[in-house]
């Protein structure tokens, strides 16, 4: 196997390919994750981008870190009333949900500062080389995947907020469809500038930062917000389970502490996918929920990479639902996290400059002869998706494909929701009939998140992308299991 072998998992085949290319050029897991994240800006443009934020958990040379680059409350040095927001109702099929969008919903983007910090501290390849595939994809276009199209359909009312946003995503009078081509030449120039100048391009005196401030005069963003923002390194939460160590993000992640609490209380030895196992998942999740209310909003994506040397880097990121506005010349969509009551609770205003709350839970799992990255999109379901994957990998020794793709359940506000397919018991639902208001899903559903896993066990690379979220996985090198 080549010395620069490795593997990558993410929410799009293009995202994964960009990460593998970085490994093939001799980069490490951090290089692969940064390259993959830059590609996700064009391959998954309604889920993530430089106008959003994220969290990363990583292990480099045996040392574990969390890097927080989630969005922050804007308004440093600003006086005046809170900018207004507009309400948009999205149709989720069985239910609808209202979100606040518009320029007033924009929080301070952390993504460019986080990616620059990851690369500067732990990367090894030039940033321009890591960005090259994404720049090419922006200029020449990417094929719309079913997952991309489904998110576009869901968010179509928000894409119609401004003519510029609508023009970027509209095809034949509606949202993009599978097989359509998506091109964003303005974003190609933005990525090139970021690759050349790093985070400086997004400070108030940089061309991209100045463009944001000029275009978003209806927001609370200030020059100080962009100039003072820093990615924050933190120590991960550590949970021991058997011979494994689980590394989770601390606050502002609510998902990290809640997953840690659920893991610590989970004692079941029941077989996976059974009703007894689902009961214990529900019990442990209810306990964690009593410690901290979960967050329920936000569309999110996840990726991870592991290299031949045992380094690992995993990133969860989001734009919320986007604010519906672009920096047109830059092809840059910004987030709407101020419009999500969970991240920005109106009854407890967040001071300017302070991080907002998030459910993102990028996770690293270390065993005696293994290391895996995992995480999920899915807002409040992130914690249950990550919990399931960890239990399947640690307690039951399942392959990442089974851990990522197997049926899941989610307990929230006293109501259990389950995927009923693939269960070993013919009377699975009957065994859970005492749960009041039990909600069943007959097949895999994106409601339950999208767990993407990349890892190495006993010297061989392994992993999986979750088909619920158009997940993909790839290996550089021949050794796998």
Active site residues: 300
Distance CA 257, CA 253 (A): 7
d(CA 418, CA 17): 33
CA terminus-to-terminus distance, the chain? 14
b (16+ CB within 10 A) / e for 259-277: bbbbbeebebeeebbbbeb
Answer whether 366's CB lies under 8 Å from 225's CB. no
Cis bond leading into 429, ω under 30°? no
The b/e string for 457-469 (b: 16+ C-beta within 10 A; e otherwise) is beebbbbbbbebb
Mode of pairing for the β-strands spanning 415-419 and 439-441: parallel
Bridge partner list, 213: none
At which residue do the structure tokens 């509606």 appear?
174
User: Residue 82 class from Cβ within 10 Å (0-12 exposed, 13-18 middle, 19+ buried)?
Assistant: exposed
CB 443 within 8 A of CB 419: yes
Looking up tokens 């430089």 gives 50
The full length of the chain comes to 481
């Amino acid at each position: 196997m080549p010395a620069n072998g490795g593997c990558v998992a993410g929410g799009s085949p293009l995202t994964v390919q960009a990460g593998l290319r970085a490994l093939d050029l001799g980069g490490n897991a951090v290089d692969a994750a940064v390259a993959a994240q830059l590609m996700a800006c064009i391959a998954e443009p309604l889920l993530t981008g430089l106008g959003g934020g994220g969290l990363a958990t990583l292990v480099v040379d045996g040392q574990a870190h969390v890097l927080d680059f989630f969005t922050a409350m804007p308004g440093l040095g600003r006086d005046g009333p809170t900018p207004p927001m507009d309400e948009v109702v999205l149709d989720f099929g069985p239910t609808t949900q209202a979100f606040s969008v518009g320029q007033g919903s924009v929080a301070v983007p952390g993504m460019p500062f986080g990616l620059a910090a990851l690369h500067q501290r732990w990367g090894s390849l030039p940033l321009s080389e890591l960005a090259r595939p994404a720049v090419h994809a922006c200029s020449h276009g990417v094929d719309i995947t079913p997952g991309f199209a489904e998110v576009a359909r869901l968010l179509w009312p928000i894409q119609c907020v401004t003519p510029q946003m609508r023009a970027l995503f509209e095809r034949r009078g509606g949202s993009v469809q599978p097989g359509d081509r998506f091109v964003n030449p303005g974003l190609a120039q933005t990525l090139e500038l970021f690759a050349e100048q790093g985070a400086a391009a997004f400070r108030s005196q940089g061309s991209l930062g100045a463009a944001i401030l000029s275009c978003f005069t209806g927001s609370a963003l200030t020059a100080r917000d962009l100039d003072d923002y820093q990615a924050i390194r933190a120590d991960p939460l550590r949970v021991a389970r058997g011979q494994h160590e689980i590394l989770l993000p601390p606050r502002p992640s609510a998902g990290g502490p809640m997953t840690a609490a659920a893991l610590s209380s989970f004692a079941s030895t029941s077989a996976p996918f059974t009703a007894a196992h689902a009961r214990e998942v529900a019990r442990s999740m209810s306990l964690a929920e009593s410690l901290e209310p979960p967050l329920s909003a936000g569309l999110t994506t996840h990726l991870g990479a592991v290299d031949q040397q045992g380094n690992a880097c995993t990133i969860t990121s989001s734009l919320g639902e986007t604010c519906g506005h672009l920096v047109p010349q830059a092809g840059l969509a910004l987030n709407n996290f101020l419009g999500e009551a969970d991240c920005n609770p109106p009854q407890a205003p967040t001071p300017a400059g302070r991080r907002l709350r998030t459910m993102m839970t990028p996770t690293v799992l270390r065993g005696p002869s293994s290391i895996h990255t995992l995480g999920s999109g899915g807002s409040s379901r992130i914690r249950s998706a990550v919990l399931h994957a960890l239990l399947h990998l640690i307690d039951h020794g399942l392959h990442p494909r089974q851990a990522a793709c197997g049926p899941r359940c989610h307990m929230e506000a006293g109501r259990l929701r389950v995927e009923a397919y693939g269960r070993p018991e013919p009377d699975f639902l009957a065994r859970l009939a005492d749960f009041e208001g039990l909600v069943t899903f007959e097949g895999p559903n994106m409601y339950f998140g999208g767990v993407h896993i990349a890892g190495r066990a006993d010297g061989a690379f392994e992993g999986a992308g979750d088909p619920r979220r158009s997940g993909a996985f790839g290996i550089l090198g021949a050794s796998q299991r």
